[in-house]
Amino acid sequence: MAVIDRVLIGEGLVIEDRPDGSGLDLKNVAHIDLIMGPRGSAAEDAFCRTLTDQKQGVNGLLAIAAPNMMVKPNTVMFNKVTIKDGRQAVQMFGPAQRGVAMAVMDCVADGTIPLEEADDVFICVGVFIDHTADMDDRIQDWNYRATKMAIKSAVAREPKAAYVVKEYKQALHPFAATTAAEKNRRAEDQAVELAIKQMKERNPLMPKVAVEDVSDRAVDEMKKRVALTTK
């Protein structure tokens, strides 16, 4: 029975701190949206439309491991941020393309995508490259990791609906806006933290409770979810 027998959906985000320790590297963040499916499916139709429907600032391109060596399964990339200049275009056609291509081929090599199905599967990969991206090595490595994560999640049919229903209210988004309700909740949390701090000052024998940064915890949770799909 075929492993990739229908249209599958995958997603992956990779982000780490800036090398100088100034916080999350928002400039080079990689976020992949991916669909894949067998010959004759909507994924093949999407592949053909993406590759042929070129517009100013929005381009479809084949993923290639090297010139004259396009990857299998057939993979088309499209940008999720409007390409405005030559530098950004080169980042898409260079390090991002290389990262996506190598992720696809590694997923064939490790058996995630069965070799016997690879010639008849089509993959469409949405790539995010920020206008301020400034580190080609991170663009390549992070898009590789995000694409591999998305493929493995798609093939594993993860996450399952039951897991999302159980976890979505507690799951944190590192780039989410803060709603009024969240602000009130955060104010309450801060009040509790202050009370604990004052109590500890009154009683130095109390064990210390670390106060974590919400964005850091969101990234930590994301990394744990990544680990589940990359084993």
Residues identified as active-site: 31
Exposed/middle/buried for residue 152 (C-beta within 10 Å: 0-12, 13-18, 19+): buried
Residue given tokens 């780039």 in the structure block: 175
**Cα–Cα distance measured from residue 101 to residue 121, given in angstroms and rounded to the nearest whole number:** 14
3-state secondary structure of 145: helix
205-212 own/partner pairs: CB under 8 Å, 24+ apart: none
Q: Which residues contact 223 (CB under 8 A, 6 or more apart)?
A: none
Residue 213, Cα to own-chain centre: how many angstroms? 22
